Every structure is written in structure tokens, then in C-alpha cells.
Amino acid sequence: MTERLVIIGNGMAPGRMLEHLLDAAPAAYDVTIFNAEPRVNYDRIMLSPVLSGEKTYDDIVIHDDAWYASHGITLHRGHRIASIDRDAKTVTSEGGITAPYDRLVIATGSNPFMIPVPGKDLPGVLAYRDLDDVQTMLRMAERGGRAVVIGGGLLGLEAAAGLKQRGMEVTVLHVMPTLMERQLDPAAGYLLEKELKRRGIHVITKANTKAILGRTHVQGVELADGTQIPASLVVMAVGIRPNVQIAKDAGLEVGRGIVTTDAMQTSDPAIYSVGECAEVGGQVYGLVAPLYEQARVLAAHLSGDTAPRFVHVDTPTKLKVTGIDLYSLGDFAEGDDREEIVLRDASAGVYKRLVLKDNVIIGTVLYGETADGAWFNDLKKKATDVSAMRDTLIFGQMFQGGTQSDPLQAVAALPDDAEICGCNGVCKGRITGAIRSKGLTDLDGVRAHTKASASCGSCTGLVEKILKLELGDAFNPAAVQPMCPCTTHGHDEVRRLIRAKALKTIPAVMQELEWSTSCGCAKCRPALNYYLVCDWPEDYRDDYQSRFINERVHANIQKDGTYSVVPRMWGGMTSSSELRAIADVVDKFDIPAVKVTGGQRIDMLGIRKEDLPAVWADLGKAGFVSGQAYAKGLRTVKTCVGNTWCRFGTQDSTGLGIRLEKFMWGSWTPAKLKLAVSGCPRNCAEATCKDIGVICVDSGFEIHFAGAAGLDIKGTEVLGHAATEDEALEIVVALTQMYREGARYLERIYKWTKRIGVPEIKKQIIDDLPRRRAFFDRFVHSQRFAQVDPWSERVSGKDKHEFKPMAVVGYQEAAE
């Protein structure tokens, strides 16, 4: 008989418990979930990458709507439970829904601790616990300004790094002398503070917060010593407390958390608890690994297997801040009954410390180089006597035996029961077993079948090494990553087969490459459309229905559902008649906001979708074409005034910028493409952080490429020198065509360059003149057959080739 299982909370622990339960007893329960948040289950430990911009909410969803539907689970979103009636065995939500249960799981998580200081309730004071907090931080970060993060632990530092990456000035306040004092010793804490300061994050330790300043909103923070720090945003990340009120009101036994047995059963035999709200063996947990172990134990008991029990195991600490390698495990306090081994490499920023007791590792702190964390953890778990390797132990597994071994050999030497994924408790043997028995060939397959590297991702490198050991040369991490769930092929393989099989339509690709869906999806169709446009310009008709909405309507959709329109201004130049035309459109359609963009154009924001055709019709009459501010293609060519006006200018940078833009306008590329031309090395057009940049010098033109100035900050690489404007244009166009032909869809130039290598690109574009000319000719050839999309035909009444004659008649003739 099916029992009724009600779950209060929809976080990671109950989500994992349900996965185990559905595997073991898929028909045993009729499941109902009440979730206080108005959304599905997502990976909370990946909120920091969402804040920093490395991931989106969609990337961190664990169970989407389809998952709940496919398993017949009722999910009440936005319903906080108001009461539990243990006698009637029912729960009632604040929204008025009452559900009966046979068994109940309380997984209410924890509440952030807010320091009880004056001003803590001001608008702009946030905790850092869920997606709502992150979304609020992102909205406030859009305005810029200063942020103060109170708390120098894991969450606080991840919040600080994310806000800094979003452009805010950030100060971290920590009451203790060193950061992360619970997980790091003072030496590692010092290195961490040094690195954060190098990134522009201000850190104040021994900082006791006295008050948060402001009347109607946050304006700053005052410390006990009188120091005042300006701030428009204050994030409190000073700790959490188990959310136990609902259990306490129901009369369950409560200590720090909801007290449970090692089977996760509360003082009421029909009620269980998992996650941050549970107290088992006198301890409460905040890291995901023990919570997932609780989930596994509870699922076993609910399915009838009463053998598993929760046992405390030390869990490694890792900081989810890109570029900071940190690993901490166990007991690293000082004591007379223990000894330590320390390695410091000041130039490399590496610090390693092992704490031994009776020749057994009891604590590990690694900073800057953490690859041996899994090995040290395995030695600690097994209480291995390390006396025989005492002299070389600190150098890691690769150096055992007196010589340095290959990294793969070090992984091969790990025993099958060595833990690889701490978050999910996955050992090496489980991964190799799944690879062999399931025929897995890629990281996604391992994640799907074992959960290894599916949470924080810090063990991804180890998992890939295991794949390499098992598959040999057949394993290529980049190539085997499927481009979407519709296919097992990666981007490179799909593109190779399109050419090899001469596939010239989307249906042909899907049929010949055995797509698992009838029409593809939002990930693969735009990619296939681009590859076909690029590879078969004479034969393939660009499918605008396979483009994103912004590309189809020549406007950027905004968060309120309106659109912004950016007409093209060649090289950033405009005229009084163009400005009057824009002003007329703004007045006629009551456009609420007009902004000058960083690409030297004008953006009109807040346009209703139904007005877009008329807006573009009026702009087209004035000679404007789309600025393609949304496009996977050429967006802007930023320029300075060059030698036409500037006393420092060495060449006509504006003229070259306009020439490049008119030549390349309308050319689709794998990802957005931004160019700049600066008239002298003073670089007013910021050419050294663009996808492709030109610096004018006395002897001609320096060609730069592979810069980035968004989520990633990267200066350009120097590609080469051009003596004439014609040669500069040829190099830029040839480089663009090489990128078009070789990059994966949505892969920016700097990422493509990292994969291909600067030397190879220089070899093909600078050193091999015939190859460069061939790239250039293919670009020109493709532009002859580039179709005008229906939208721009309708709204501008102009042939797009009218705006770039160089692609039709040759660049030297057009330049004249």
C-alpha cells in the first residue's frame, strides 16, 4: 500500500533523499513537498558562481518542473508550513493547504544570524542564504557603489569576490585576527587575505561592528573603534542557526537542531529530519557532504533498509572563488602531542601544512596547490602510518619513491576506496566501475551516474584524470562534451561531420547524426544554424526562427518585457540629421530612456514589442540599420578621432574603424565580436581589451586580439604589425574568418585562442600569407551570399550590401 510522505523544505538534502528513495522504492510513497521558496530545487552551494556571473540560475537547477511531474510529486511552491498536528498527522501551510502524512520529513534548513546592532533592519542590509538574496545583490550591484561584507568565513568571502567581480568596491570586516579561522591556520589565512587584497578587496580584521549607519537606507558601517566605512550594501555572513521553530512548536525534542537518531528519526517515530536543521550525535552540519550522507541514510530507512547509520566524518573545506585554491581538513590546532610538516613557496604563493599525531595525519591545510588533497584525505581516513614516507610526504603523492611521477600515475595509485568527490561521498572505485559498466565516455556521464563533480565541481580535474586513465586517448574533455541533451556529439564533432557528410540543412544534420529529438532544442538549433550559415554560405538559407528572440526582432529584451533598440553608428560617428531622427523617434513613441553605450552608440530603452516595426521603419527612413547590439556577430568598432583632430594621433583611426565596420557588418560569428581602433598608443578607444583591436603607430598598425573586459578581465595578445591600412584590414578580416571557421558556438575569441594557442593563430594569419589571403577571400565570398533577414528587409527597405560595398567589389577599390 502506498504511504503518504510529506516533506517540509525543498533544499539539497531532501532533494538528494528523494533521488535515493525513488531509486530504491519508486512506488512506495505518494510524495508532497512544501517549499517556502517560490521555485524548484537548486544547488545552493553554487550561488557564489551565480553572484559572480560564472553561472546562471538555470545552470544550478537540480530538479526542474519536468522531474517532479515525471515522478508524480506534488510541489507547493511559496508555501511555508504554519503548523504540524502530530495527533491528526497533518501539516498546514500559511497559504491554507492542509496535507495528511504517514511519514513526515522536516528539512527546513537554517536561518542566517544577523548581528543585533543598530541599523540591521535598514533597506540594503542582506543575508547571504538563498537565490532571493543573490538576486537582490545583483540588482544593487548594477548601480555600482560600495559594499561591506561582515564575516570573513566561506560565505562572506564568496560574496565579497562575487560583488567585486560585479563591479562594486568591497570591504570585508572580520572580527577575528585572520580569515576563515575555523578552517585555516594563521599562515594560510594570511595568504588568503593577501590574495583578496591583490584583487582589490579591502580586508579589515579584528573589526567589531558597532552600528549600521543610515536613516532610510544603508549609508555605511561604524566599527567599535570609531572607523566609518561608506556603503550602499551590507551583507551579513556571520553564521547560521538551524531553523527549528516548527519542530519546537510541534513538541519535538530540540537542542541546537532537531534532535535525531543516527537513522535521522526524531522523537516522534513518524517524523524525520535532514539537513542543516537536524542535530545528529550532538552535532549540526552546514557542509553538503554530511547532509548528503544524511539523505542516503534516511532514504534507506524509508525504503525498508534499516542497516545504514549516519557516522560523522571530517569534511574538506574548499573556497568557491575562481583562482583561489584552498583545501582544509581535520584538526590542525597546535599541541604537545603532535608534530607538523610545513612547505612554503613564497614566489609561487604555495603553503602546505600537515599535522601528524603518532605518525598519522590528523589535519591538512593546503593553499595555492591542492591536487594532493584527496590523497592526504585518504591517508587520514585510513589512519595510515606515514613514517616510511615522512621525508617526502609534504611533496605529495607524485614524489613518493624518491622521484616525481606522472600525475596520471598518481591518480592510478589511489586505491578504489579513496574519496574523489567529498560533496557526494563518491570513491574512485565507484567512478571506474560506472565508466566500465555503463560505457561512460565523458564528464556528464560520470556526473549523471555517480554524482561525482556534480555539486561544487572542485573535484572535476580528478574525475577527468580517472576518465583519461580508463579511456586513454579516446577521452577528450572538450570534444566529447555533448552540445545539448539532443545529441551525444560535441560541437567539434558536429561541425566536422557537417563538412565531411556535406550536410546542408538542419533536418539533414539531425537525421544523419541521429538526434534524439524531432526538432532539436534552444541550445542546438542556434548552433546548427550558425555552423550551416558559416560552412555553406551559397547553399544554406539562414533560419531566423533558429535565432534567439533578440536577433529576430533586432532589439534587446529587457527585464520588464520591453525592448531596447540600438541603431548602428559607423565607427561611433553621427550627424545632426541622425540625432534629430533619433530624437523624433524617442518623442513619437514616448521612449522612457535614452543612453549612450560603451560602444559609442545610442540605446533607446523601454520600447513596447508591438512598436518595434514602426520604430525601425522611422529609423530606416533616416538611413539607420540595426546596430546588432544583441548579435552573435559584429557589434561595434569603437574609435577615437585619430590624426584627423587629435594632436597625438598617428593614423586615421576613425576612417579605419568605419571601413572595418562597413566591411564586416552583418557577418555572423560564433559569439559577439567587438573591435576598436585607437589612433595612438595612448589607446583612448581601449583597443587592448577588445576581441580584436588596432593600435595606430607611426610605422603603421599593431593588430591585437583575444581581449576581454566582462566577467573575465584580460588584456589582448599582439598578433602582428601591418604597414598599411589595407594590410591591417586584411589581417583583421582573415583572423575573423579563422575564428568563424574554428570556434564553437558561443565561444568568445579569447576562449578560442586559449584552446587553439596564440602561436598557431600567428602562424596561420601572420606567417603564412597564402593562407591569410584564403581566409580573407572566404570571408568576402561568404558575404556575397549572406541573406538579408526578413525583419531588416521589412523595416529598412535597403539592401544590406549597400552599407558594405567592400564585401562586393573588393576592399582596395572601395577604400578609394
For residue 630, which amino acid is it? Y
The confidence score (pLDDT) of residue 230 equals 96
Give the strand order in the sheet containing 29-35: 74-77, 29-35, 3-8, 103-106, 271-273
Q: Which of 561, 559, 533 is nearest to 547 (CA)?
A: 533
pLDDT digits (tens, 9 = 90+) for 154-164: 889 999 999 99
Q: Treating both helix axes as pointing N-terminal to C-terminal, what angle do 460-471 and 443-450 enclose, rounded to 10 degrees?
A: 110
Buried residues in 314-326 as b, exposed as e (16+ CB within 10 A): bbbbbbbbeebbb
The confidence score (pLDDT) of residue 678 equals 95
The confidence score (pLDDT) of residue 787 equals 46
Q: What percent of the chain has pLDDT over 70?
A: 94
The confidence score (pLDDT) of residue 322 equals 61
CATH code of 711's domain? 3.30.413.10
Question: Does residue 506 sit in the same domain as residue 518?
Answer: yes
pLDDT surpasses 50 at 555: yes
Alpha-carbon gap, residue 137 to 120, rounded angstroms: 16
The confidence score (pLDDT) of residue 598 equals 87
- Helix, coil or strand: residue 74: strand
- Please name the helix (run of DSSP H) or strand (run of DSSP E) that holds residue 99, with its range, or none: strand 98-100
Which long-range contacts (C-beta less than 8 Å, at least 24 apart) are formed by 96-100?
97/34, 99/4, 99/6, 99/32, 99/34, 100/4, 100/6
Task: Of 123-137, 177-191, 714-728, give the lowest mean pLDDT range.
Answer: 177-191
pLDDT band at residue 786 under the 50/70/90 scheme:
low
Question: Does residue 233 sit in the same domain as residue 247?
Answer: no
Say how many C-beta atoms besides its own lie within 10 A of residue 121's C-beta.
Answer: 8
Q: Kindly state the average pLDDT of the residues 790-816.
A: 33
Question: Does residue 654 sit in the same domain as residue 768?
Answer: yes
The confidence score (pLDDT) of residue 790 equals 36
- Please name the helix (run of DSSP H) or strand (run of DSSP E) that holds residue 676, with its range, or none: strand 673-678
Q: Which residue in the block uniquely carries the three cell numbers 541550445?
A: 523
The confidence score (pLDDT) of residue 785 equals 64
The set of residues, in sequence order, having a beta carbon less than 8 Å from that of 208 and lying 6+ positions away, is 175, 223, 224, 225
For residue 170, which amino acid is it? V
pLDDT surpasses 60 at 798: no
Note the helical H segments in 126-185: 131-141, 154-165
DSSP 679: S
Question: Does residue 147 sit in the same domain as residue 218?
Answer: yes
- Helix, coil or strand: residue 360: strand
Q: Kindly state the average pLDDT of the residues 548-562.
A: 81
Of 403 and 608, more confident: 608
Question: Does residue 573 sit in the same domain as residue 622?
Answer: yes
Question: Does residue 104 sit in the same domain as residue 252?
Answer: yes
Q: Kindly state the average pLDDT of the residues 12-37.
A: 95
Output the nine-digit C-alpha cell for 352: 602546505
The Cβ-side half-sphere exposure at 27, using a 13 Å CA radius, reads 1
Q: Kindly state the average pLDDT of the residues 203-213.
A: 95
DSSP 12: H
CB 275 within 8 A of CB 14: yes
Q: Treating both helix axes as pointing N-terminal to C-terminal, what angle do 612-621 and 576-588 enclose, rounded to 10 degrees?
A: 160
Question: Does residue 659 sit in the same domain as residue 673?
Answer: yes
pLDDT surpasses 90 at 225: yes
CB 654 within 8 A of CB 646: no
pLDDT digits (tens, 9 = 90+) for 355-408: 999 999 999 999 988 888 888 998 998 999 999 898 889 988 877 765 555 667
Buried residues in 76-105 as b, exposed as e (16+ CB within 10 A): beebbbeebeeeebebbbeeeeebebebbb
The Cβ-side half-sphere exposure at 361, using a 13 Å CA radius, reads 28
Alpha-carbon gap, residue 326 to 728, rounded angstroms: 45
pLDDT surpasses 50 at 472: yes
CB 338 within 8 A of CB 359: no
C-alpha distance from residue 371 to each of 314, 330, 496, 737 (Å): 18, 17, 35, 39
Alpha-carbon gap, residue 678 to 657, rounded angstroms: 9
Output the nine-digit C-alpha cell for 565: 533598440
Mean pLDDT of the residues in the chain: 87
Last residue of a domain, one of 513, 547, 581: 547
pLDDT surpasses 60 at 663: yes
Q: Which of 740, 742, 716, 720 is nearest to 731 (CA)?
A: 720
Query: Is 454 among the domain residues?
Result: no
**For residue 329, how far is the Cα from the chain centroid?**
26
pLDDT surpasses 80 at 671: yes
The confidence score (pLDDT) of residue 803 equals 33
Alpha-carbon gap, residue 448 to 443, rounded angstroms: 9
Q: Kindly state the average pLDDT of the residues 456-474.
A: 81
Last residue of a domain, one of 483, 513, 547: 547
Q: Which of 72, 17, 5 is nearest to 41 (CA)?
A: 17
pLDDT surpasses 90 at 68: yes
What's the number of domains the chain is made of? 5
CATH code of 585's domain? 3.90.480.10
Q: What percent of the chain has pLDDT over 90?
A: 55
Question: Does residue 75 sit in the same domain as residue 159?
Answer: no
CATH code of 97's domain? 3.50.50.60
Alpha-carbon gap, residue 295 to 127, rounded angstroms: 26
pLDDT surpasses 90 at 805: no
Query: Is 461 among the domain residues?
Result: no
The set of residues, in sequence order, having a beta carbon less than 8 Å from that of 423 and lying 6+ positions away, is 45, 288, 289, 292, 454, 455, 456, 459
Query: Is 721 among the domain residues?
Result: yes
The confidence score (pLDDT) of residue 448 equals 80
Query: Is 120 among the domain residues?
Result: no
The confidence score (pLDDT) of residue 317 equals 83
pLDDT digits (tens, 9 = 90+) for 722-765: 999 999 999 999 999 999 998 999 999 999 998 788 888 998 99
pTM for the complete prediction? 0.58
Question: Does residue 643 sit in the same domain as residue 657?
Answer: yes
Task: Of 69-73, 571-575, 691-695, 755-759, give the lowest mean pLDDT range.
Answer: 755-759
Query: Is 231 among the domain residues?
Result: yes
Say how many C-beta atoms besides its own lie within 10 A of residue 799's C-beta.
Answer: 10
Query: Is 318 among the domain residues?
Result: no
**CA angle, residues 328, 453, 486, in degrees to nearest 5:** 165
Of the spans 312-321, 515-524, 527-536, which averages the highest pLDDT?
Answer: 527-536
- The boundaries of the domain holding residue 519 are 491-547
Last residue of a domain, one of 522, 547, 572: 547
Q: Which of 126, 142, 90, 108 is nearest to 8 (CA)?
A: 108
Question: Does residue 523 sit in the same domain as residue 611?
Answer: no
- Please name the helix (run of DSSP H) or strand (run of DSSP E) that holds residue 720, with its range, or none: strand 717-722
pLDDT band at residue 707 under the 50/70/90 scheme:
very high
For residue 797, which amino acid is it? G
The confidence score (pLDDT) of residue 391 equals 85
In DSSP terms, which residues pair with 673 in a beta bridge? Answer: 634
Of 547 and 716, more confident: 716
Query: Is 460 among the domain residues?
Result: no
Q: Which of 543, 548, 547, 551 is nearest to 506 (CA)?
A: 543
Question: Does residue 563 sit in the same domain as residue 621?
Answer: yes
In DSSP terms, which residues pair with 696 in a beta bridge? Answer: 701
pLDDT surpasses 80 at 422: no
Question: Does residue 674 sit in the same domain as residue 711?
Answer: yes
Query: Is 325 among the domain residues?
Result: no
pLDDT surpasses 70 at 811: no
The confidence score (pLDDT) of residue 337 equals 85
Note the helical H segments in 389-546: 407-413, 428-438, 443-450, 460-471, 491-500, 506-512, 524-535
The set of residues, in sequence order, having a beta carbon less than 8 Å from that of 217 and lying 6+ positions away, is 122, 123, 124, 232
